[in-house]
Structure 1
Amino acid sequence: MSERRKLAAILAADVVGYSRLAGSDEDRTLARLRALRSDLIDPTIAVHTGRVVKRTGDGTLVEFRSVVDAVRCAIEVQNAMLVRNAGVPPDRRIEFRIGIHIGDIVEESDGDLMGDGINIAARLEGLAKPNGICLSGSAYEQVREKFKEQFVDLGEQTLKNIARPVRAYQMLSGAAFTEPEVARGRLVQQDKPSIAVLPFQNMSGDVEQQYLCDGLTEDLITELSRFRQMQVASRNSSSRFRGADVDMIRAGRELCVQYLVEGSVRRMGTRIRITAQLIDATTGNHVWAERYDSAQDEIFDIQDRVVRTIVGTLVGRMTAARTDLVLRKPPASLAAYECVLRGDALPMGTPEIEAEARHYFERAIELDPSYARAYALLSSAIEREWFLDMSGSTRLLDEAFEMARKAVALDENDHLCQLVMAWTQVDRGAYEVGEQHFAKAISLNPNHPVNHTDLAMFYNYRGETEKAIDGMLEAKRLDPFFNPSWYWGELAAVYFNARRYDDAIANMRRSSSLSFSKQVWFAASYAMAGKPDLAGDCVAGLLRRVPDFSTARYVAKEPLFRIEDRQHLAEGMRKAGLPE
């Protein structure tokens, strides 16, 4: 029989930028590559019982009996290459990309291998970062519990000449990053969103417009850097990708980022048009795009607003894309950051969901005890639990405050940590201290919609309802897609406090998931609007959830500054039929 089928693990490796290296000095490049093969690559393959099937110039195809052996071999080679490249100028480094797959292959009589299993490994190699390792879903399932390294789920990938999409995973290890990140003493946390802003293009044919392109690029990088939940490539790193014919997938690999921003500026008579796009660097697909028009003589006035809108929307789209990916993963495989994303994505409102969210935040802390944001979100979850507790105890509020204190101690420059500390202070009656933390959060990141909504809620409790409405709407102006489950309920509470009951009811109805506290305000809104039957329906649902509900104890927990606002809420609750 001239050929036979079998199951095997296949490793495909290729040199990054080989044509450029050979074009610069072919003899030296070939000599270095031969030395690497004899001193490092072939001995490492032999140690892990691999068989070199073929070499194609700068490429190598290797067969292993197990995926574990293939991955161990890949890690050792890439780690060794990172050490060897230390101190070598970037344009002279030999770096490998490696793809690994396990599947059905055909072995011919001369030992050569054929079939989709080979092609998939080769295509996965093309998805890997320089110095990186990319695995197929079938290979990942074999090794996921056997290595300390983490993996990034790249989702379903459409590979050339492969009929069905293949799920791909990027392995995260010290070798998966470029030397500059190592030199700075930190490795990029690729389990968190990472982004680079490419130089905006001047589409006007007017060199004087270039200053605007450069200014927009620099401002976007500066403002995106305020978001501590993501990694932002420096301008020096991304500036080399200037021009209209950038290969987005290659740019993403070389910059070690998951997302790219590109844009342009075009003058049309007396008008200026600015466009911006968010691109998934792993696929080259557009995630979001928008354009902004203004008069040329208004451009300096509008530039800040355009930057803020682009930044707010970009971060929202990145987070949404990442959350969608995490929600498709089995909970057992989630790392700390992904636990936080999954817990934060839950539609709060029932004790069962609150308990699930708390579980994810506690799990994140177990995985990473120094993760400030996990403590912050756990603080919020405990604080919501305190609102449901009608016993009069302050134990849960004290626990929430302790979690907030830990969050701020771990990272005082994370706006979310400042927000949760602000709320625990306000709920403890320390209004002025709370206001200072709200101000700190805004100063740290004025482009995050949540900072504006939380400050707006604070204004509402202080009785400044017009400022509160403006703040809630500003969040939507920053990110038109901003639509957390709690937003409409909080806006409705502002309208209730402003005595605009019909507006309150209309916004409550827009919410897909009302928290327990906002259901209380919903019942009060119906009652004050003269709709007792609808108020009664709300009350029945509330009492099923909290049979020992007390109007007096609940109103005491709402941090309304003005006595007339407390009396107003209590009146609405009593009219709705909630027990004293």
Structure 2
Amino acid sequence: MNTVNPNSSITQKLGAVLFADVVGYSRLMSENELDTYNALKTLLSQIEAACARYQGRVVEVRGDGILALFETATSAVEFGVELHQISAQHNDSGSDQQQIKFRVGIHLGEILIDERGIHGDNVNIAARLQEIAEPERVYVSSAVYDQVCNRLRYGYEFLGPQHLKNILSPVSTYCVRSEVAGATLAGTMRPDAIVDLLERPDTPSVAVLPFSISGGDESDGWIADGLTDDIILNLSKFRNLFVIARNSSFFFRAQSMPPKEAARKLNVRYIARGSVRRSSSRIRITAELVDANTERTIWGERFDRNIDDIFDILDEVTECIVAATAVMIESHERQVMVQAVPSDLEAYGSVLQGQQHIFKYTRNDNRKAQNFYQSALERDGNYARAAAALSRTLNLDWRYSWTEDPGSAFEQALSLAQRSIELDPTDARGFGELGFVHLYRKEHSAALQSYQRALALNPNDADMHSDFADALAHSGENETAITHLQQAMRLNPYFPDQYLWHLGGAYYNLRRYEDVIETVNKMNNPTEGQRMLAASHAQLGNMDMARMIAEKHRAAHPNFSLSRWAKVLPDRLEDDTQHFVEGLKKAGF
């Protein structure tokens, strides 16, 4: 692809190379060749026009792929995000089967240019980044990230060094998240690991890697993910176990690494993993537990059951893993594991499919998750897990104004959390959702009690520790909040930006402004921490920096109101609210 005629005129130039490719193009063409061709032709003309608006040029269009060159990394990333928006608008008028979606990869470096186009290793890197990108996402190299992270108001999820096909050295890669709010809650790897949080705990420690789909249809992935989720949840309830959180375990979904390597990265003793194969009426689950110290499988089992027996399988797999780790569990803790299961298998399936969307933390995925949870409750009105999960989606709607009536969503979240607890008082999630609602209703004692009850039921829930820490900080108990955040980060090494956000808030209340700046600068999302960052710089007298950050915040949130923000903050102590407002005013808000 990149051979160059030695007799042609070649120039070298620094540029940002973008590759975009249609997802599942062969399938689309085989199903409806003429309509796909015409739709893509129309779409490509819109994309080429947009490319010119960002001072780029389309070098080549090959069937379903686009190769474009830009003067700057900033223009290339802005265009990459715009490309997905153009495609989404186009898809609004089409059927689900004829959706045209792209993957995009961008790299910055020196390229070779001749009369036939652009060439070189840096062009290949952009192409390979596109190949590993998720649909409707933009993947960029660290060279691009370094140029845009402080210029563009997107979230940047660090994916670690990626081994790309036919590229000699691994390329540090980031996923651009254009939905700023969602990036705050999405679990993520970080370029600078917080090593001191990763000491192996004294108690038996285990990570449950995502179960894989063996044969069959990849669309059955929700079954494997759901079983993994439930095993993690059930194991987390045992106080004598240290269990890695879901976010961090699921980072290993697409990585086929030996158990010893996964255990080393998470610093745990045991790795549990398995696979799922489903036919029309049967399901086969294989599971094993590996001691990473010896690399020996200390327990393995295969479960062949009717699909209707899925709840019994879950109990068996979890109990066997616990027994294999030789954890002495008291009888009353064993009872905590008995959770209410739905009477309807389809209700359970709806909840598992909802989980596929809620952890992506975007407006559209939150709406899809909401629909699945609502469907589960319609089929089984006593399903506590569905009520708690639906409450969480409504909380997100309220927090990010993802609905036309956030106030109503907030009230519904409260009602559903209360309903979840009534249906199953042993499920920590209902108490966690209730704690969140109480906090923002400024009912601090009730919020702390709800979180304490949730952590008593599930002491290994990393997100619960972080949410509890936030409630503690807003209640004036900042040192205790920091302790819980450290525990959350250890349980969930690939923690979301939200943990850092909460930690920064506790430091700010303690007037530890330099710690705030160091903490917030570790966030992958450069936007949501800007208020705290600007206020801290202002309190330290760094006025030029404070005002520059405030200006960036205005560009991202032009409708931000300081007076409204002061009313929303759920601080128990008025001094804490005024202290933050003071910093923001100094910064120019």
TM-score (norm 1): 0.43
Point out the structure with max Rg over C-alpha: 1
